[in-house]
Chains A and B, each alone.
Chain A
Amino acid sequence: MSDKFIAIEGITKRFAAPDGGVTTVFENLWLGMARGQFTCIIGHSGCGKTTVLNLVAGLDEPSEGTVIVDNQAIEGPSLDRAVIFQSHALLPWLTVKGNVAYAVSSKWRRMRRADVDSHAQKFIDLVGLSGAERKRPAELSGGMKQRVGIARALSIEPKIMLMDEPFSALDALTRGTLQDEVRRICLDTGQTVFMITHDVDEAIYLADRIVLMTNGPDAVLAEIVENPLPKHRQRSDVHKHPLYYGVRNHIIDFLVSRSRPRRDQAKRLDPRHVPVVRPGAPEPIVAAEGAIPLRSSSNDDLHDAAREGKLSQCG
């Protein structure tokens, strides 16, 4: 697992239940993420996705297991791991510029004021908020607030971006634009991203790999779906790609019918080797994570397979 930039190693989270017992949110979870990879995690509400993200962020501590980032076990939150919160979490008494500058001056404590300002400005421009620097969060629309959150996260030049349903509170149009921008920025800067979402289309558009999580309590990672779409995809025609509906149907099938696994099935899954699936491929691929041979998605066989709606599945 040492080749993994982020390695979640056997984490467990338990809470004291109100009736005096113990609720296990999830147990013995293993997941690796390579540098520069965009990973989305999908599951129903309450399955523990946010807890996983908080553990990676260091905002929460696992009951067991560790999270290793860049070959070091994490101890609490770090400036290397920027978090984009679902609720923006902007400081309402600061302006747009103030919010971004606060992050900048937190990372570079001795930076001169003028430098902090110009650095913050660069990222405000990057997310397209030039001209709104002096506005306070209350004067901004939901989309603009989330842009500030993204600018703040990017401004500290983190190694990893962690996003907790960043677009779920936005209207569809704003969401689309922001997804485009996040995708562009992440590709340009080679960010490693771990994102929670419950929007299947969003996951397919943004992610390289989509992790499917079963319902909690006792949630497990059921599958890792390798996104077969080409790395450079356009929002305008991504849904016309022959493999698009293959992936989409696969994930939706999971959410509808397979997200509540029977106990014996869950037991059979080896938590260290979550099955990797590449929907739309002509033949089922059973392999350990990370050992998938890359296939050209323009292969005619793939197109045919997708048209027939044939999905590979393993595990």
Chain B
Amino acid sequence: MRSLLGLRAAVLSLLVFAIFIAVWHLGTAGSGTAVSMDPEYAKLVGATASQGKSAMPGPADVAAKLWQHLKDPFYDRGTNDKGLGIQLAFSIARVAAGYLLAVAFAIPLGFLIGMSPLMSRALDPFIQVLKPISPLAWMPLALYTIKDSGLSSIFVIFICSLWPMLINTAFGVASVRREWLNVARTLEVGVIRRAFTIILPAAAPTILTGMRISIGIAWLVIVAAEMLVGGTGIGYFVWNEWNNLSITNVITAILVIGLVGMLLDQILARATRLVTFQE
């Protein structure tokens, strides 16, 4: 019954996809030769003018472009012409650096806030004020102080992935069931051992949920950050192709951004499942 449902869902998904492609194709296809003109001239002015073809690329154009990128993802022909694979690698590397930095910072700090009501109250106003700031608003300040565009975008990733992890860690640590802590107390378990053997496993599902939210936000923000600082990365690629008026490339990049984002989310989802326990 379950597999039958899965099969039906898959068929329906394919159907939705096919309809989408068909509508896209029909919407962007030309209407044929509208005006009779000299073939040489028609070739000169292009299909858009001669056959009423839309300037928006059709699915076949995008598929061809995607295939072209996939065949040769890592070419490097100068500053403004790098393979999609290289651009993605730059973006993923920045996200990884900023994100891991945030993990290293947020989890110990979250433990501190979660374990100490004093710290929780003292730091709460700062967190409440800093949390709603758009990460890109930090960019000028980062550029001014760090004086390096690559590091600045890493900083922006750091600051945007920090809050969900920090808040979730603090919440997870603070809401560890009292009875589990009492078990540790009656067994005379020391602070360090208690943190690693009771609090960490008990709070792990909450912490990883925060990490999953963070990776999603980080991947959203990196595109915008790279558009701003330029140079390399998938965000820069999108903006560069917009300046080149290559809508095909822009759509290809959008698709790839979505796929990588999904992949990152799935990795964290799987990790969350690993540490989730049933009560």
Contacts and interface: CB of A to CB of B under 8 A. Distances in A.
B179 A87 contact: yes
Contacts of B202: 91, 93
Contact of A138 (B186, B189, B204, B278): B278
Interface stretch (A72-80, A213-221, A283-291): A72-80
Contacts of A245: none
Given A59-B182, A85-B182, A87-B179, A77 B188 contact: yes
Contact of A136 (B182, B187, B277): B277
A107 interface: yes
A91 B186 contact: no
A88 B204 CA distance: 21
Most interface-central of B183, B185, B201 (chain A CB within 10 A): B183
Interface in B90-110: none
Given A91-B201, A102-B197, A82 B186 contact: yes
A106 B188 contact: yes
B279 interface: yes
A136 B275 CA distance: 13
B182 A93 contact: no
A83 B180 CA distance: 12
A136 B198 contact: no
Contact of B187 (A76, A106, A137, A138): A106
Interface string B171-191: 000000101101101111100
A138 B277 contact: yes
Nearest to B204: A93
B186 A57 contact: yes
Interface string B148-182: 00000000000000000000000000000101101
Contacts of A76: 185
Contact of B183 (A81, A89, A136, A137): A89
A103 interface: yes
Contact of A77 (B186, B193, B277, B279): B186
Given A136-B278, A138-B277, A138-B278, A91 B183 contact: yes
Contact of B182 (A89, A103, A138): A89
Most interface-central of B198, B204, B277 (chain A CB within 10 A): B277
Contact of B185 (A77, A93, A102, A103): A77
B179 A92 contact: no
A78 B188 contact: yes
Most interface-central of B187, B202, B204 (chain A CB within 10 A): B187
A193 interface: no
A82 B183 CA distance: 9
B186 A83 contact: yes
Contacts of B183: 85, 89, 91
Contact of A107 (B177, B180, B185, B187): B187
Interface residues of B, number: 20
Contacts of B182: 59, 77, 83, 85, 89
A166 to B, nearest CB: 13
B187 A93 contact: no
Nearest to B197: A102
B272 to A, nearest CB: 13
Given A85-B179, A92-B278, A93-B277, A156 B201 contact: no
Interface string B16-39: 000000000000000000000000
Interface in A131-145: 136-138
Contacts of B198: 91
Contacts of A85: 179, 182-183
A156 to B, nearest CB: 7
A53 to B, nearest CB: 12
Contact of A59 (B185, B197, B201, B277): B185
Contacts of B185: 58-59, 76-77
Interface string A39-78: 0000000000000000001110000000000000000111
Contacts of A138: 277-279
A282 B198 CA distance: 55
A69 B176 CA distance: 30
B204 to A, nearest CB: 8
Nearest to B189: A106
Contacts of A93: 201-202, 204, 275, 277
B74 to A, nearest CB: 42
Contacts of A137: 279
Given A59-B182, A85-B182, A92 B277 contact: yes
Contacts of A57: 186
Nearest to A79: B188
Contacts of A156: 187
Interface string A18-56: 000000000000000000000000000000000000000
Nearest to A84: B186
Given A83-B182, A156-B187, 17 more contacts: A58-B186, A59-B182, A59-B186, A76-B185, A77-B182, A77-B186, A79-B186, A81-B186, A82-B186, A89-B177, A91-B183, A91-B201, A92-B278, A92-B279, A93-B277, A106-B189, A136-B278
Interface of B: 177, 179-180, 182-183, 185-189, 193, 197-198, 201-202, 204, 275, 277-279
8 contacts: A78-B186, A85-B182, A89-B180, A91-B201, A91-B202, A103-B187, A106-B189, A138-B279
Closest 6 CB pairs of A and B: A138-B278, A89-B179, A106-B187, A93-B277, A77-B186, A77-B185
